[in-house]
A and B are shown apart, each in its own frame.
Chain A
Amino acid sequence: MTALLEVSDLACQRGTRRLFDGVSFTLGGGEALVITGPNGTGKSSLLRILAGLLEEEAGEISHDDEMLYLGHLDALKPQMSVMENLRFWVSLFGGTGDLDAALERFGLGHIPDLTAGVLSAGQRRRLTLARFSCFLGGDSARPIWLMDEPDSALDDAGRALLDDLLKEHLARGGVVLAATHRGLGIEAAELRMGELGMGS
């Protein structure tokens, strides 16, 4: 199997503190990696480095495919409607997915015209997941998904929808990297931060 994402000897420095070093892994199509570990051990920083938003201190990252990133913040505009938010991000990233179907899938099909400002935290997260579902396949697929606590604020039904989405993405040959505290309902290797002689 060819590797979609290869990381070797990655190190991260924040201020004077070495968050982690020696992080290496390889992910091929259909494989998922769950990043666990206590707060402050560099889970989010690792994802941000992979996303190209943060400079690595040392190490190599190689990938050919496009990425999608989900951070702590939802990147939703409270002044725009649910549908306008979704349509904007999908068109900025050149997605071709069916927007109505995406909203329907995540239980937002009845409120496309509601302004995003009045959504609950769980609904905001569902809308973000709907964005991911528009990049599942076809020409606009973005195979590498970087997700920082994708299950936060979701109820049980929402978590089940998330697991379904991730399974479908993996079945299509995608890759998932997710930082999480509670674990996800998918088959995944685990990377435990703060244990591999890191820190100090």
Chain B
Amino acid sequence: MRAFWALVARDIKLAGRLGGGPFVGLGFFIIVVTMVPFGVGADLPLLSRIGPGVLWVAVLLATLLSLDRLFQADFEDGSLDLFLMSPLPVEMQVLAKCLAHWITNTVPLIIAMPAVAFLVNLETGIMLPLIVSLLVGTPSLSLIGALGAALTVGVRRGGLVLSLIVLPLYVPALIFGAAAGTGDLMGTPMLFLGAFSLASLALAPFAAAAALRISVS
């Protein structure tokens, strides 16, 4: 367990020290949300209707932006070889990296969400369900993203391939997430969203670990 938390701490530390740190994803998120009123026009009822969906799409894209480095840097400097030989199971390492990715990339977006929500005229009443839906649903984005990142780790400019693999898999999270963001806290969409996150928690680490083992050989 000490090794697990050592890996989480290392990835958080590294994320903070990379150029721009967590602010790159955050800035991207804010800009995407800002773009929508420019494109749709100042139709306030329309904006507030599409608001939860827009925020969910923006979170999803901002998450995707940081995913291609999840294993890439470790692959390039030889760390991945050592990871695969370490006593900590590779599946646990994937979990640790996903946890660190979620904390450094997604949590700042959720914290910033109330501040940018006024751009899409979000009703204050659905702020809480939307935040809960993001907390429940976004871990699946990191987990499924880890699978895509593991599959494309040896691919030059794998970021684009990664998007093609991962985005279709994000569709259930987006559908249930945006729906849960408008409904009540324990409604059906929220339960499905939670189920989707749990399913990806159960499956994605094994798939990603298998993909990593293939990638280094």
A residues with CB within 8 A of B: 48, 51-55, 66-69, 71-77, 79-80, 84, 88-89, 91-94
Contacts and interface: CB of A to CB of B under 8 A. Distances in A.
12 contacts: A53-B84, A54-B216, A54-B217, A55-B217, A67-B85, A73-B77, A77-B73, A79-B17, A84-B13, A92-B82, A92-B83, A94-B2
B81 A75 contact: yes
Contacts of B84: 52-53
Given A53-B81, A54-B217, A72-B78, A80 B14 contact: yes
Interface in B99-153: none
Contacts, number: 71
A74 B77 contact: yes
Interface of B: 2-3, 6-7, 10, 13-14, 17-18, 73, 76-79, 81-88, 216-217
B78 A74 contact: yes
Contacts of A93: 3, 82, 86-87
Contacts of A80: 10, 13-14, 17
A75 to B, nearest CB: 4
Given A53-B217, A80-B13, A88-B10, A75 B79 contact: yes
A79 B77 contact: no
Nearest to A76: B77
Nearest to A49: B217
Contact of A69 (B18, B76, B85, B88): B85
Nearest to B10: A88
A75 B217 contact: no
A75 B3 contact: no
Nearest to B17: A79
